[in-house]
Each structure stands twice: as C-alpha cells, then as structure tokens.
Amino acid sequence: MLYLVGLGLSYKSDITVRGLEAVRNCSRIYLEHYTSILMAASLEELEEYYGKPVILADRELVESGSEEILHDARTQDVAFLVVGDVFGATTHTDLVLRAKRESIPVEVIHNASVMNAVGSCGLQLYNFGQTVSMVFFTESWKPDSWYDKIWENRKIGLHTLVLLDIKVKEQSIENMARGRLIYEPPRYMSISQCCEQLLEIEDARGTIAYTPNTPAVAISRLGSSTQTFKAGTIEELSRYDAGEPLHSLIILGRQCHELELEYLLEFTDDKEGFKKAVIEDQEFFKPAPWVPPVEDED
C-alpha cells in the first residue's frame, strides 16, 4: 500500500491519528520537501515522533525518481508525507496515477492546508476564486501567467489567494549548466517582495486587474503559534515586514461581505483608511449595468 498522508501546517502533532497509525506501520517513509515546510518541526523531531527514519524527497526524486518511492509498495506499506494536505500540489496527483498504473493500492489521509486554514483571517472560503502562485523573478525571467487569473477573479468579485514561492535544494543556473551538485541556501518569498512583483507586472500590463490601492491581507506563519494577519493596500504591504516565513497573500474581491470587512478591521492600524480602500475598490470594479439588447424592428 502507498499511503499519502497530510501533515497539517506546523507541528509534528498536527498529523491525524489515522495518519500517525499508518506512518508507524510503514516500512519506508518519505517526506516531500520542496512545495512547503513544516514550520515547527525538524526532520529529527519527526523521526523521533514516528519512531522511524524519514527520507527527504526533493523535486527530482518525486518527479523523476518515483520508481524508488513505489519500489516494493505492492508488498510493503510505504508512506509519502506532505505538509498541509496531500493534494496541495499536482505533483502528488501524478504520483497516485503512477501507482495505479502499477496496480499499487493507494490510501489518502487528508489534513488541514493553507487552502482551508486561510479562512481564519475572516474571509469566507466560498468567496475565493482561482488560487495563484507567485515565483521569484530574475533579471531575465518574470512570468506573469498568474495575472490573468487574478483579473478573472476580480471581474466576478472573488478573493484571490496568492501562494508565495519557496526555494529548497535549488541549483543556480551556472551550477546546473556545469553539472555541479551545489545547492543554493533555502529562500522564502516575503509579503513585501510579492507585492512589489504584483505592482511591477500591473505597471507593465496596464489592464488594471488591481491597483496599488487594492485591499489585501498578508498572512504569516499560518497555523503556528506566531500566526499573524495584516490588512492593508498592496502598496502598503509592499513595505510591510511580515517576519519569519512562511507567507501568503490574499487580494480582496469586490464581493467583500460586511462581516468579512468587520473581521479584517482587527488586523489594520488604520481602520477608516482600510474601509475606504475597500469601498473605493468595490466601486471601481463594479460591473457595468446590464442593458437589454435592442430588438430588430424588422
């Protein structure tokens, strides 16, 4: 059996009871280690908690070396651990498909993830549209495919969850080109950097999917004891120090309910200013009134 087990957001004990029982019965345990990290638990702490060694699975192993993970999974129990929920990344769907092609039984044990825990900021999950990912820009590479998704969300009034890039066990272009297995130090995108990149692309595209005054919510260390929210405009948050990672951002949609707004006001120093930004944003992105088509008199 291949067990895919969600670990939750922060602590070693966030794993479900069923998940923990499955892990402790497995002969091999892999921890996916590139889409997110468990903020309040080290590898050594996890090994002590499970009573078994844990193998770190980087992107290369999961995407190119899945045969190692699936080896003997027909006759032995193997666990694949994912921070958050199992299907927070499409890579894990691919692993399930490969297991099924090899007739390996699969059991999925879910857990909390940023996709549902984000509701703790006060915004209603029903009011979220497409989730987007923001990657680190380079001098020569500034992908902006996420921009159109934000625009689509904004046109129908929905909030957008922006997941911020992390770089774990990544190679520089030079080392990759030279075939040197030298890895860069881990990097985690900050709220301020994300907002700066948002503003840079809006300035370049100019179709006003959002503005510097669009209201947003910064999320820091979701699910941990130091979890923090900060409400402000995108421009204000581009100057905000959100502290230690991990970070996420929400761009508010026009359909911000009054109860959502009331909740968010607890996370801003300038309540009147933020309320004004929300009202102005709602008015700016309000859809044009429907006009019935003119009937053909002929």
| pLDDT tens digits, one per residue of 137-163 | 999 999 999 999 999 999 999 999 999
pLDDT at position 30 over 80: yes
CATH topology of domain 115-285: 3.30.950
Please compute the mean of the pLDDT values over residues 126-136 and round it to a whole number: 96
What does the pLDDT read at residue 176?
60
Residue 269 in marked binding region: no
Domain positions in the chain are 2-112, 115-285
What does the pLDDT read at residue 204?
96
What does the pLDDT read at residue 90?
67
Residue 247 in marked binding region: yes
pLDDT at position 118 over 90: yes
What does the pLDDT read at residue 177?
64
Residue 164 in marked binding region: yes
Sign, Cα dihedral of 20, 26, 27, 31: negative
Euclidean distance between CA atoms 157 and 256, whole angstroms: 8
Please compute the mean of the pLDDT values over residues 225-247 and round it to a whole number: 97
What homologous superfamily is domain 2-112 in, according to CATH?
Tetrapyrrole methylase, N-terminal domain (3.40.1010.10)
* Burial class of residue 281 in the structure, from the number of CB atoms within 10 Å of its CB (0-12 exposed, 13-18 middle, 19+ buried): buried
Residue 85 in marked binding region: yes
Please compute the mean of the pLDDT values over residues 81-101 and round it to a whole number: 88
Are residues 111 and 19 in contact, defined by beta-carbon separation less than 8 angstroms? yes
**Chain segment 37-87, per-residue pLDDT in tens:** 888 999 999 999 999 999 998 877 887 778 889 999 999 999 999 999 999
Concatenate the DSSP letters of all residues of 94-125 into one string.
Answer: HHHHHHHHTT--EEEE----HHHHGGGGS--G
Residue 222 in marked binding region: yes
Are residues 170 and 183 in contact, defined by beta-carbon separation less than 8 angstroms? yes
Please compute the mean of the pLDDT values over residues 24-28 and round it to a whole number: 97
pLDDT at position 171 over 60: no
Which position has the higher pLDDT, 294 or 198? Answer: 198
